[in-house]
Amino acid sequence: MGYRRALATLLATTTLLSGADPATAAGWSGYEVAYWPMDEVYGATRMVDTAGRGHHGEIGPEVETGVTLGGDIGYRFERLEPDTPPTRPGHLVIVAHHPDLDPGDNDYAVTLRLRTTGKFGNIIQKGQATVPGGNFKMQIPSGKVQCSFRGTRGLLEVFAPFTINDGVWHVVRCLRVQAGVALIIDGVQVAQRPGYTGPIANDWPITIGGKLQCDQILVGCDYYVGDLDQVTIESAPPASWPAG
């Protein structure tokens, strides 16, 4: 099944957050802020955003592009020893900061396909744990996906109750709305937590594949290992959101 079709099915069948009760069923889909198909050829240095807002990314030289992934094309990230210098910034894909990539106070979701047998790694994030303005990230400690949203009013995290580092493709979605946060895997909501994070907005880029500011000694870079394909960011934009 194609990714766009799979995502549409996911949205149609998933229990999502709504109102005051995080377990209330209400399908939510937002404005497509960025869509990275990750179908560039081998050796590409630019990750193309096809959503139309120009959020193209810089592909590090250690990221393998043009990888055939079960009939599709995607990126591969090699395994790096955790918390072991030197840092490897070439392992990252970096998308420059833009305000419409921030969750702000909007409903917001990050969805992607992954395949891994690894037991650690930050998959995608904007900002890090102590940066002003908050941050969000999706990571996979011990093979279990975790969604984290930290805003002006606090931190909300949800954890998958099972591992997905089985070498099989999975569609993973982290969702933050006014009522709380939720984690959806392969069309099924597997975790949710009620609460209000407050706005999230920082001046950091989006990084895919690990942390940007780290030294592998005091701050681990948490480099992801595995395959990635087709990342989508959705938001509910304010009426004043400028075009382009």
pLDDT digits (tens, 9 = 90+) for 4-17: 433 433 343 344 44
- DSSP line for 105-168: TS-EEEEEEEE---S--EEEEES-TT-TT-EEEEE-GGG--EEEEEETTEEEEEE-SS---SSS
Per the model's pLDDT, the better-predicted residue between 214 and 27 turns out to be 214
Q: Which residues of 36-66 are buried (b: 16+ CB within 10 A; e: fewer)?
A: bbbbbeeeeeebbbebebebebebbeebebe
pLDDT above 90 (res 203)? yes
Q: What is the biggest distance separating any 2 CA atoms in the chain, rounded to whole angstroms?
A: 47
pLDDT at 15: 40
Residue 183, SS3 per DSSP: strand
The structure's pTM equals 0.89
| Extended strands (E) in 31-84 | 31-36, 46-47, 57-59, 64-69, 72-77
pLDDT at 243: 52
Could you say which of 3.40.50.300, 2.60.120.200, 3.40.50.920, 1.10.260.40 is the CATH number of the domain covering 3-235?
Answer: 2.60.120.200
pLDDT digits (tens, 9 = 90+) for 64-122: 999 988 778 999 999 999 999 999 999 999 999 999 999 999 999 999 999 999 999 99
| pLDDT interval class at 18 (50, 70, 90) | very low
What is the rounded CA–CA span in Å between residue 131 and residue 120? 22
pLDDT above 50 (res 183)? yes
Residue 88, SS3 per DSSP: coil
pLDDT at 28: 67
> Is the previous residue joined to 86 through a cis bond, with omega within 30 degrees of 0?
yes
Token pair belonging to 212 = 């940007």
Residue 215, SS3 per DSSP: coil
3-state DSSP percent of the chain in helix, strand and coil, to 5: 10, 40, 55
Compute the average pLDDT of residues 178-199: 95
List phi, psi (to 5°) of 169: -70, 140
Residue identified by tokens 């992801």 is 224
pLDDT above 60 (res 224)? yes
Token pair belonging to 80 = 């790096």
pLDDT at 69: 81
Compute the average pLDDT of residues 138-146: 98
Side-chain-side CA neighbours of residue 107 (13 Å):
16
